Structure 1
Amino acid sequence: MTEVVNKPEREDPLAWQTKKAGQLLVASARHSYDPRVDVDWDQPLAEDRWFLPEKRISLYGTDLYESLSHEQQVLLSREELAASLASGVWTELILLQLVARYAYKRDVTSPQVQFALTEIADEVRHMIMFTRLVEKVGAQWYPIAPKTQRNGLLLKTFAPLPALWAMLLLTEEFFDRFQREQAADETVQPLVRTVARIHVVEEARHITFARTELERFVPTLSPRRLELLRNFLAGIVKTIRRDRYNPLMYERAGIDPAVAVAAGRDNPIGKANGAYGAERIAPYYKSIGLIGGKSEKVWRDAGWLSA
């Protein structure tokens, strides 16, 4: 039996979702950004600023990190930012196609579908913004790992819609944690902070909508379908952990990639960073039944679930 998070009595779930979608459409009209004009791309990079908070660098706290010069540490922060942005673009490409599938057979006049279309427009702007940021900071683009690419082709074509909202919420909640921190950290490049701030504001709407979809849909799943969805999400957790330590970003920072990958994976601070990213989404997923059974071990082994 799915355990649903306790909430105050409210109207029919579909009516609640329709109302929420209407509110999100209004918020989108009032608080959307065009990165072509709302980001000052002509501003020079600030001297000696990090490209992400130092404590979030994958090697931070290791002997290997301490052996690097300060300039090389900053360079590594740039490469890790670029690699994470490439992963973000790949993820949003997958979600964009899944959201389009959601809208395909539905009434386009409904607030839910209109917000889904608005979300697609948001994601397209975000992808362009991320690629432009990679160019601006002087990094090269990062290809997605072949295994992840192959899995993505299957996912975007065959994944059921519940998987769409569950994956969307997992990835956006996870990365939103770090981007909120980036936006507020004055040691980080101002341009990076601006991009993070825009993304946080617009992704907050997507997160809210995904939650309303899941809270309506998860209680209707059969035990078998619920278990399949739990295992699917556990697979996403494994993929995020595996792809976090991209050998190419260490190579581009002038570090032996094999040594760096091993150091990063063994770094307890890295595991703590994963727990930080999952701090909101893991308890929420457990409360609505999306973590349980065999999948719970994956989340705990990753350090993403403590309670």
Structure 2
Amino acid sequence: MTTATDRRNADPLAWQTKKAAQLLVASAKHSYDPRVDVDWDEPLVEGKWFLPEKRISLYGTELYDSLSMEQKLLLSREELGSSLAAGVWTEHILLHLVSRYAYKRDVTSPQVQFALTEVADEVRHMIMFARLAEKIGVDFYPVSPRTHRNGLLLKTFAPVPALWAMLLLTEEFFDRFQREQAADETVQPIVRTVARIHVVEEARHISFARTELERFVPTLSKRRLELLRGFLANVVKTIRHDRYNPLMYERAGLDPKTAVAVGRNNPTGAVNGAYGAERLAPYYKKIGLIGGKSEKVWREAGWLKDQEA
């Protein structure tokens, strides 16, 4: 009996074309307009978190325990604000990369049409994240000059395999946390609504990125594969580094230098990293995107467990 995996392996391009056509139908049925599908007039609920408490960077430390409930809630708000700004930056980079993918390709193909649909999704998500930041009362969080410079290079010169690999890494990692937010009744309702919308639409992006990677990765030379592995390891490093934004601690009324040090040394960070990469890391290991020198970075980050060797 011929299985779906057999058919996919026999003709990856035909499989990808079929998948893209299915995702176009799903996009038509399950897309949202945050201008009308989010009740921006809904008041914030006193005492509700902006992130699940256990995902706050200082959770479990003596510094965190010394804070009042009001300070803890404020910290959760600022951490969400920082995360939303990172999300806007990431979506902006991805929409540039996906647009480049579509630029020289046949616009009548389902793959290109879905890519263009994905660009539209990313634009709406950027606006939705910005509206949420405004709603919860946080000021804009700028990306660091280094990240800004790297983004300019990335969106202009990154090869296609790097595009899908980065897209899947960032979206699947953060998707884990947003699914949790959407289901957590201790979190502000409007935050849960935004998370729910993002999860539904990003599921399509994740699915398409997987089909692209499964077609592209086997065609890479050993050298290009090592370069891609190294690139992804650097993305992991960047996510870990930028997670502890001094400005969010300062805005929450904490000493930023002290808070960054406590956050970086908090075992909760490794726990959260492992949670976010729980599905992603085994998949990347399986298709060859984790290996060689890059594997050490994933393990040091706590994103790859020993049993996944």
Instruction: Please indicate the TM-score interval, normalised by the length of the shorter structure.
Output: over 0.9
Select between 8-17 and 129-138 the one with higher mean Cα deviation: 8-17
Unpaired runs of at least 5, structure 1: 1-5
**If the length of structure 2 is used for normalisation, what is the TM-score?**
0.97
Name the CA distance, whole Å, in 2 between partners of 1:43 and 1:244: 29
- What per-residue deviation string (whole Å, max 9, x for no partner) do you get for residues 195-216 of structure 1? 0000000000000000000000
For residue 146 of structure 1, report the CA deviation from its aligned partner: 1.1
Higher relative contact order (CA 8 A, sep 6+): 1
| Number of the residue aligned with 1:3 | none
Name the CA distance, whole Å, in 1 between partners of 2:64 and 2:150: 33
Counterpart residue type for residue 207 of structure 1: I
Does residue 198 of structure 1 match 2:214?
Answer: no
| Number of the residue aligned with 1:166 | 165
Name the CA distance, whole Å, in 1 between partners of 2:157 and 2:209: 19
- What per-residue deviation string (whole Å, max 9, x for no partner) do you get for residues 66-111 of structure 1? 0111000000000000000000000111010000100000000000
| Number of the residue aligned with 1:85 | 84
Name the CA distance, whole Å, in 2 between partners of 1:168 and 1:270: 22
Give % identity: 82
Does residue 41 of structure 1 match 2:40?
Answer: yes
Q: SS of the residue aligned with 2:5? A: coil
Does residue 119 of structure 1 match 2:118?
Answer: yes
| Number of the residue aligned with 2:214 | 215
Unpaired runs of at least 5, structure 2: none
Name the CA distance, whole Å, in 2 between partners of 1:40 and 1:152: 32
Name the CA distance, whole Å, in 1 between partners of 2:54 and 2:4: 36
| Number of the residue aligned with 2:226 | 227
Name the CA distance, whole Å, in 1 between partners of 2:4 and 2:209: 16
For residue 269 of structure 1, report the CA deviation from its aligned partner: 1.0
* Of 8, 13, 16, the match for 2:5: 8
Name the CA distance, whole Å, in 1 between partners of 2:103 and 2:286: 31
Structure 1 runs of 4+ aligned residues shifted over 4 Å read none
Q: SS of the residue aligned with 1:96? A: helix
Name the CA distance, whole Å, in 2 between partners of 1:304 and 1:283: 10
For residue 270 of structure 1, report the CA deviation from its aligned partner: 1.4
- What per-residue deviation string (whole Å, max 9, x for no partner) do you get for residues 5-43 of structure 1? x97311410000000000000000000000000000001
Output aligned runs, 1:132-151, within 5 Å. Answer: 132-151=131-150
| Number of the residue aligned with 1:55 | 54
**If the length of structure 1 is used for normalisation, what is the TM-score?**
0.97
Q: SS of the residue aligned with 1:9? A: helix
* Distance 1:233-1:7 versus aligned 2 partners, 3 A rule: farther
Q: SS of the residue aligned with 2:46? A: coil
Q: SS of the residue aligned with 1:143? A: coil
Name the CA distance, whole Å, in 1 between partners of 2:272 and 2:77: 18
Name the CA distance, whole Å, in 2 between partners of 1:222 and 1:210: 20
Name the CA distance, whole Å, in 1 between partners of 2:139 and 2:110: 40
Name the CA distance, whole Å, in 2 between partners of 1:100 and 1:42: 33
Name the CA distance, whole Å, in 2 between partners of 1:232 and 1:283: 18
Matched residues, number = 302
Aligned-residue CA RMSD (Å):
0.9
- What per-residue deviation string (whole Å, max 9, x for no partner) do you get for residues 241-284 of structure 1? 00000000000000000000000000001111011001110000
